[in-house]
Amino acid sequence: MSNLRAARRVTPSLPVLGACLLLTAFSGCGGDEVMPTIARTPPPAAVDLVIPAQAVTKVRVAGNVVAFLQEHLVSIFEQGPQRTLAILDRDGRTAHPYTAPAGWSVVDFAVHPSGRISAVLTTLTEVRIVRLSAAGAILSDQPFLDAESPADPFFNYEGGIHNDTALQPALMRDAARVVALGESLVLVLRTGRNAVVAYRLDPDANSAYVRAWRRLVEPGSSIFGKALISGTFDAFGQLDNHVRIFTDADAAGVIAIAVENDPRFNFTFRAHTEYFGEPLNDTAGVVLTRIASDDGRRLGSTELDTNARSELHAVRATASGFMLAGRVFSEARADGTGWNAFTARVGHGGNLEFYAVLDVDQSDVLFDLAELSTGGYLALGATAYVQNPSGASISESAQPLLIQLNPDGSKLKRLDFAGGARHNQLRTLARLNDRWLLGGMTNGPGTHSGDAQPELIFADGFLRQPPGLPDD
């Protein structure tokens, strides 16, 4: 583990010491981190980055610092995700990667106002937090421990699979997410007990993280795995979407955490109802919980009933509330075009303000969206793909989807974005130099692309700033 570096230690006061014990022996505890001002380097040039054989799945910006995840696609028979955290050079055409220690995978990251970057890494059972400078130097590297997680409530309805001593669910190693709260960090995990837990971590003077609070968001309960009857690639992550977690924090410091309910494969709504005493219908959909960042208290939960099998792919904070986006199975059509995109908004008071289903072009999915200063939203994903109406097989023919939405989440107009070969996806967006920065992939696989030729499971990634978008 050549990248493992223990944070320097300082002597904490006794009241602080107890809060430090569960983080790890590698962490220091002490006063507030002394933060440098963000590097006053020139901003990146107009971005036009091509990444052969790596899809771009997330991009975030703070000041002139641009960080993103690039992912090597793998078959369902290989261990994933295989992601690399990269920092964009100011030329806008090259990037500098951070490589995780052997055996670990980068699953998510956040960029702080200082330009420093926090990444969460996982194995099949473990979690660690790495804090990097704006240039990518390791400032602290800490295994994350939680002695309380094996005792979290668990509702065993019909069996399923769980591992009480792990910090990642037995079904995947991609259930850890982070969000910046200034220079602090929110970490959200689905643990091996299948519970969803949120933590606030504050940096000390040595850039090591100290736990401020812990909050149970959803109790553990039975979860079952999904599998393909045939095929070798999961095009939209539908095999584990019911295990994933989605989170963001707004400017007021309210944290939103959302998870899917799929009555065929998990019991999120049922366990939530029994544990919190907040009745949720046992239907397909999403439950979004809001948490106060100062002390971790629950502010309430909101149910989104999608009325049909659905997948959540994004939660983004906006000035108007928390936006959700994904796709919903509206109709079992013989031609395989029965999936539509959806958007929804949970207001600051917790009300579900709208749920809009979007039929743009045959079949659609939204992966990300952001609020426009002029009102409404810019959203992106994929369209014009075909999926087996009674299964999970997705074609190679998907095209990029870029649309402008009305304030109520409905479609205003589709925007031009040229696709490439095979399967195309627009996955992520952020603002840089008062222009939109878009990331995604071209030349990707469908479900069966690699059945006979495993080498066809690949994609070419990109980061671009196309001209003429709303708010430019």
Cα angle 92, 58, 315 (rounded to 5 degrees) comes to: 140
How many Cα atoms are found within 13 Å in the side-chain-facing hemisphere of 152?
30
How many Cα atoms are found within 13 Å in the side-chain-facing hemisphere of 11?
0
| pLDDT score of 36 | 54
Count the domains in the chain.
1
| pLDDT score of 28 | 35
Q: What is the pTM of this model?
A: 0.91
| pLDDT score of 310 | 97
- Residue labelled with tokens 């100062």: 294
How far apart are the C-alpha atoms of 380 and 370, rounded to whole Å?
A: 9
How far apart are the C-alpha atoms of 241 and 75, rounded to whole Å?
A: 16
Q: Is residue 277 assigned to a domain? A: no
Whole-angstrom CA distances from 9 to 6, 13, 207, 365 are 9, 13, 10, 47
pLDDT, one tens digit for every residue, the chain (472 residues): 222 223 332 223 323 333 333 343 333 333 356 555 444 456 677 899 999 999 999 999 999 999 999 999 999 999 999 999 999 988 888 899 998 999 999 999 999 999 999 999 999 999 999 999 999 999 999 999 999 999 999 999 998 889 999 999 999 999 999 999 999 999 999 999 999 999 999 999 999 999 999 999 999 999 999 999 999 999 999 999 999 999 999 999 999 999 999 999 999 999 999 999 999 998 999 999 999 999 999 999 999 999 999 999 999 999 999 999 999 999 989 888 999 999 999 999 999 999 999 999 989 999 999 999 989 999 999 999 999 998 999 999 999 999 999 999 999 999 999 999 999 999 999 999 899 999 999 999 999 999 999 999 999 999 999 999 999 8
Domain extent, residue 420, equals 14-240+319-343+357-464
| pLDDT score of 73 | 97
| pLDDT score of 177 | 98
Whole-angstrom CA distances from 100 to 82, 117, 121, 162, 449 are 10, 14, 8, 26, 29
| pLDDT score of 32 | 52
C-beta separation of 369 from 377 below 8 A: yes
| pLDDT score of 2 | 26
Cα angle 128, 130, 136 (rounded to 5 degrees) comes to: 155
| pLDDT score of 18 | 32
Q: Are strands 423-432 and 411-414 parallel, antiparallel or unpaired?
A: unpaired
- What Rg, from alpha-carbon coordinates, does the chain have? 21
In 55-174, beta strands by DSSP E: 55-62, 65-72, 82-88, 95-98, 105-111, 117-122, 127-132, 138-144, 154-155
- Residue labelled with tokens 């369209």: 383
| pLDDT score of 14 | 29
Whole-angstrom CA distances from 306 to 104, 262, 317, 391 are 35, 11, 20, 19
How far apart are the C-alpha atoms of 339 and 388, rounded to whole Å?
A: 10
Distance of CA 256 to the CA centre of its chain: 12
How far apart are the C-alpha atoms of 384 and 424, rounded to whole Å?
A: 10
Q: Is residue 138 assigned to a domain? A: yes
> Which amino acid, one-letter code, is at 405?
L
We report the CATH number of the domain holding residue 367 as 2.130.10
How far apart are the C-alpha atoms of 395 and 391, rounded to whole Å?
A: 12
- Work out the widest C-alpha separation in the chain, in whole angstroms: 67
How far apart are the C-alpha atoms of 360 and 401, rounded to whole Å?
A: 9
Q: Is residue 206 assigned to a domain? A: yes
**What residues have CB less than 8 Å from 119, skipping those under 6 apart?**
85, 98, 106, 108, 109, 129, 130, 131, 132, 178
Q: Is residue 365 assigned to a domain? A: yes
| pLDDT score of 43 | 67
Provide the token pair at 239: 């095999």
Q: Can you list the alpha helix ranges (DSSP code H) found in 257-302?
A: 268-276
- Looking at the chain, how many residues does it have? 472
C-beta separation of 20 from 29 below 8 A: yes
